[in-house]
Amino acid sequence: MIARLVAALLALALALTGPAFAQESEPPVTILISIDGMRPDYLDRGLTPNLAEFRQRGVAAAMRPSFPSKTFPNHYTIVTGKRPDRNGIVGNLMIDPVRPDQKFSMGDARQALDPFWWQEAEPIWITAEKVGIRAATMFWPGSEVAHEGRRPSDWLRFDQNIGNAQRVNTVLDWMRRPAAIRPRLVTMYFDTVDTAGHRFGPGRSPELDAAIAEVDARIGEVVRGVEAMGVRANFVITADHGMAETDESRVIQLDDLIDRASYVAVEAGPYAAIEPAAGTDNRVYDALLKPPAHMACHRKEQLPAHLHYGKNPRVAAIICIADNGWTILSGPPPYPVKGGAHGYDPNNSDMHALFMAFGPSIRPTEKLPLFDNVHVYPLLAALTGFEPLPSDGEAATLAPLLGR
List residues with catalytic annotation: 71
Distance CA 139, CA 50 (A): 22
Tell me how crowded residue 250 is: count the other CB atoms within 10 A of its CB.
16
Which residues have CB under 8 Å from 64's CB, separation 6+? 346, 347, 351, 352, 353, 370, 371, 372, 373
- The closest of 303, 355, 258, 316 to 93, measured between CA atoms, is 316
38-50 in b/e burial notation, b at 16+ Cβ within 10 A?
Answer: bbbebbeeebbeb
Indicate the helix (H) or strand (E) that contains 247. none
Give the distance, in angstroms, between the CA of residue 128 and the centroid of all CA atoms in the same chain.
18
Phi, psi of 376 (to 5 degrees): -70, -35
Distance CA 50, CA 28 (A): 21
Phi, psi of 272 (to 5 degrees): -125, 135
Distance CA 122, CA 118 (A): 8
Q: Which amino acid is at 290?
A: K
Phi, psi of 298 (to 5 degrees): -140, 145
Distance CA 129, CA 112 (A): 22
Give the distance, in angstroms, between the CA of residue 217 and the centroid of all CA atoms in the same chain.
20
Angle between helices 192-200 and 206-228 (to 10 degrees): 170
Distance CA 139, CA 285 (A): 40
